[in-house]
């Protein structure tokens, strides 16, 4: 089965983050998965399932944070 890649513009829409913020999140702060590139360095994008796993993990972190704040 072919891998569906999410391009930068679509990722910006999905996350609500700018190009620069996405770059900081994966290159500097390790808060977001790095995009895939070819051996020659050509940008492919993010595999859809990698984004989905990140989004689920981010949602779980938010729920836990909200839950814990209710008890503090």
pTM of the predicted model as reported, rounded to 2 decimal places: 0.77
29-58 residue pLDDT tens: 999 999 999 999 999 999 999 999 999 998
- Residue 72 confidence class, pLDDT cut points 50, 70, 90: low
In DSSP terms, 47 is beta-bridged to 5
Q: Is 60 or 20 the better-scoring residue by pLDDT?
A: 20
Q: Is 65 or 72 the better-scoring residue by pLDDT?
A: 65
CA dihedral 53, 11, 25, 72 (to 10 degrees): -60
Query: In whole angstroms, what is the distance from residue 27 CA to residue 31 CA?
Result: 9
Q: Is 63 or 50 the better-scoring residue by pLDDT?
A: 50
The percent of residues above 70 in pLDDT, for the chain, comes to 96
């Amino acid at each position: 089965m072919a891998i569906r890649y999410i391009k930068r513009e679509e990722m910006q829409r999905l996350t609500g983050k700018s190009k620069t913020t996405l770059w900081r999140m994966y290159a500097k702060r390790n808060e977001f998965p790095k995009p895939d590139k070819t051996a020659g360095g050509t940008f492919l994008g993010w595999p859809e399932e990698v984004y989905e796993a990140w989004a689920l993990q981010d949602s779980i972190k938010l729920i836990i944070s909200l839950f814990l704040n209710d008890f503090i």
